[in-house]
Structures are given as structure tokens and as C-alpha cells.
Structure 1
Amino acid sequence: MSMRQIFGSLACGAVLLTGVAACSDEPAEKPQASSSSSSDKANGGTDTGAAAADLLNLGVEQGQAGKFDEAKGTFEKVLAAETNNKFAWFNLGFIAQSRNQADEAVTNYDKALETDANYKPALYNKAIALEGKDPKASMDIYRKVVSIDDKSSTAYLRLGILLSQAGDEAEARDAFNTAVRLDKGLASAVPAKYRASTSPSPADR
């Protein structure tokens, strides 16, 4: 069984390692290929890509075990070998976010996004981190997430909540309707004033 490259994801749930998956996919991509190749090894070079992948898997194991300090150090070693490894940056962002270090989390997610501007887990978690500080920016990011994946039910839900708080009730209602259509289990998370229009019909139950 292959090891996932991210040990925890706000992107597919709401909280930390035990979050319930509620988005349309689970991030399980492979680490970025390094600049080294098999010919490097044949010429006596080191396979930095394989070394970084091994470190990434170690960091995942440490993170899943709750050893965040050790995991952080391991992911930093990955970045020493591969500066643009989006999975390492994402995991560092996740660790910071789980410690309520929102600014550091956003910085790390931005590093991941420099490598892959459409990397949905980093976009989603960055949006969560910005909800309280910059709700407009957060809404813009959620809109980008659903433009990348129109089945991201939790992104629609959180976008709806921010729209509601901003007083845009019509667009909020549309977002909530879409969230519940994609995942009926989210109906209970919709604010009460919007539930009548978002509750699944008897035929859908």
C-alpha cells in the first residue's frame, strides 16, 4: 500500500487529522519529480527525488502519529532537497494551521501554490485560514476551488456561509443549494434560515 503524501487535510474535512472527508477527492498525488534522473545514479550521482520521497513518507508517518515537531523537521529536509515540493509545503502549512498559526500557514500554502497554482488542498486550506482575517479573499479562493472542481461540496458550503455573513443572501442560497445537492449530509451545517430551500426532497432521501 502506497503512502499518501499529505498526512492531514482540512481540504477534505474540517478539522485536523480526524476530519471527515466531505470533498470530492482525496489528495493522493505523487511527489514532484526531482531534477535528477536515473542517468545521474549511473554516473555516481544521488537520486535526490527518491530521497525526498522517502523523507516525505517519513514525515507523513510522523504527522499521523501526532509527532508534529518531528514531522516539521522532516518536511524541512524534503525542501532542502527539493525546494518546490508542494506536498512538503502543504504539510508545513497544515501543521502551522493546526497550531492556529494562520499567517505561517498561509505563507506555506502560498509556496505550494507557487509550484502548482491549482493545487486544491492548498487553496482550500488557505481560504479557511483567511476566513476571519480577509473574508473577501477567502471567498475569491473558494470560487477558484469550485471553478477547478465543481463537485467540491464543502467549498460551496463555506462560501455560502461567508456570502451570508456579507449580506449576499441570494448567492449564499445558491451556494448552499449546490453544497447540499452534492452532499446531502451537509444540510445540517446550513444556517437555519436557508434550510427550507436546501433540504433534500423525499424522493432524494
Structure 2
Amino acid sequence: MQQQHRDFQGATRTYRHVLELDPANKFAWYQLGIIAQANGNTSYARAAYDKALKIDPSFMSALFSEAMMLKSSDPDRSMRLLQRAAATAPKAASLHMQLGLLLAEKNRNDEAKDAFRRAVAADPALLSQVPERFRNAVSPSPTSSHAGSSR
């Protein structure tokens, strides 16, 4: 509740108290990362996300949050985090979209197409966000999961 009411100092104290009682509480570490990131303390945010991921290497929220935070400063690490997340959530459309965008920036076009295909398959509304040069390659086909629909 403290965090929802933007009492970040109070929420930070509460999460630290939780960690005194349960040092392996991935949710407390994750939320400390969210608060630190919101306050511009990216080094602490990254450390908190990493602690959450040491506890649960497939913790989707921490993988995605850290990846998005690092997208411009460390795109290679961001990509690795998104790839780990994609392995645990193959139908997470926004995750695949973000991965595709990073791969496209690195000119890893075949991998980018695959990520964009997965994103659009999970959420066809994302097609408009796929970079133009990839759209034809990733458009949902009439024989996909929408076969028989009146499109």
C-alpha cells in the first residue's frame, strides 16, 4: 500500500524489514528494484533485480524490468535477459516485441523475424509496431490460429 500511495521511503523500509525476516524474498528484492529505478538509482535497481533473479532465475517480472532498464545502456545484457524471459513465457507478446526490436537493431534479422512472429502470433494488434522491413515476413497468415475466422 505504501508503494501504491507513492510513499517510497516507507515502502523501502517495509521491504527491508521483510528481507530481514526472509532474505530470499524475491518479491521484496524486486519491489526495491522498482522503487530504486523510479527514483533514478539504476545501479541499486540492477543489484536488487539481480538478487531477485539469484533467488528465482526465471522470475519474469525481474527479467523484464531489468531488461527494459538496460535496453539503451547495455543492449546485449538486455537481450540476454529478454531471451531468458522468452524461454519461460513463450506467449508473452510484449516481451517478444522488445526482443525483436533489440535484435533488429543488432542486424540479427532472422532472430528478429522469429521474435516478431511470436509477438504477433500472441497479439496480432502488435503488427503495426513491427518495423516496416519485417512486417511482410511476420504477418499472421490465414492458416495460423485464426484460420476459419472472418478476417
User: How far apart are 1:114 and its partner, in Å?
Assistant: 1.7
- Structure 1 counterpart of 2:44, one-letter code: E
- 1:157 corresponds to 2:87: no
**Cross-structure match for 2:39:** 99
For residues 98 and 189 of structure 1, the distance between their equivalents in structure 2, rounded to whole angstroms, comes to 26
User: How far apart are 1:202 and its partner, in Å?
Assistant: 6.6
Structure 1: stretches of 5+ with no match in the other structure: 1-60
- 1:170 corresponds to 2:110: yes
Structure 2: stretches of 5+ with no match in the other structure: none
- 1:133 corresponds to 2:54: no
- Structure 1 counterpart of 2:18, one-letter code: V
For residues 18 and 125 of structure 2, the distance between their equivalents in structure 1, rounded to whole angstroms, comes to 38
Count of residue correspondences? 145
Secondary structure of 1:64's counterpart equals coil
- What per-residue deviation string (whole Å, max 9, x for no partner) do you get for residues 3-47 of structure 1? xxxxxxxxxxxxxxxxxxxxxxxxxxxxxxxxxxxxxxxxxxxxx
- Structure 2 counterpart of 1:147, one-letter code: A
User: How far apart are 1:190 and its partner, in Å?
Assistant: 1.6
For residues 13 and 102 of structure 2, the distance between their equivalents in structure 1, rounded to whole angstroms, comes to 35
Distance change in 2, residues 1:144/1:191 (3 Å): same
User: How far apart are 1:98 and its partner, in Å?
Assistant: 2.2
Distance change in 2, residues 1:69/1:188 (3 Å): farther
User: How far apart are 1:89 and its partner, in Å?
Assistant: 0.3
Distance change in 2, residues 1:192/1:69 (3 Å): farther
For residues 166 and 157 of structure 1, the distance between their equivalents in structure 2, rounded to whole angstroms, comes to 14
- What per-residue deviation string (whole Å, max 9, x for no partner) do you get for residues 66-88 of structure 1? 22222112111111221111110
Identity level (%): 38
**Higher helix fraction (1 or 2):** 2
Distance change in 2, residues 1:86/1:135 (3 Å): same
Larger radius of gyration: 1
Matches within 5 A, 1:69-80: 69-80=9-20
For residues 71 and 39 of structure 2, the distance between their equivalents in structure 1, rounded to whole angstroms, comes to 16
**Cross-structure match for 2:21:** 81
For residues 127 and 13 of structure 2, the distance between their equivalents in structure 1, rounded to whole angstroms, comes to 40
Secondary structure of 2:90's counterpart equals coil
- 1:122 corresponds to 2:44: no
